[in-house]
Structures are given as structure tokens and as C-alpha cells.
Amino acid sequence: MSTASNKVEIEPIAVRAWTEDRTIFLELIDGRIFGFPADRFTRLKAASDEELKRVEIQVNGYALRWENLDEDITVPGIVAGHFQLPLKKSISTN
């Protein structure tokens, strides 16, 4: 027996982007908020805090752009977890 799903897929479109403590945040059109460390992308990792703050939403919400860094990242890629660099885990010993 198959069941029909009424779930409507909404493409991830950013309506707002900002940075806090080297974390890039974006708010999607459906209200979700995503955050990722700048260190997950080569050019963002090397950028100053001031340079990171210059993020712009472009391509009708489908991309983030840092003109000063010549960096573009797609919003669907971020939501899917496609990053350039691996996550650095800190190991704490008590």
C-alpha cells in the first residue's frame, strides 16, 4: 500500500545573512536559520572578521557573495552540508 505525501518541498532561498563570532548565519524563506563556521571554506577561513561581515545575498536568494574576497557559496549547497574543508573537532580532556 502506498501513501501519498502532502509534503511540499521548498527550495532553500536566503532572505537574510549575517555573521557572529566567525559563524555565518542565513535565514531561509521558510523561517529556518542555518549557521556554519567560516573555517569550513578556504577564503572565509583566511578572512578578517570585518571582511566576513560584508556578506551579500545574491541570485534571488540562492547564493551568498563576498565581493571583497571573490567568494560565492550556494545556499542549497550550505543546506545540504557541502563544505570545502572538514570540521575541526576540539577534543577536551578533563
Give the tens place of pLDDT for each residue, 43-90.
999 999 999 999 999 999 999 999 999 999 999 999 999 999 998 776
Closest CA to 64 of 50, 79, 49: 79
CATH superfamily of 14-80: Uncharacterised protein PF10387, DUF2442 (3.30.2020.40)
Q: Where are the domains of the chain?
A: 14-80
Kindly tell me the burial class for residue 29, based on how many C-beta atoms sit within 10 Å of its own C-beta (0-12, 13-18, 19 or more): middle
| pLDDT score at 4 | 55
pTM: 0.82
CB 28 within 8 A of CB 38: no
| pLDDT score at 89 | 73
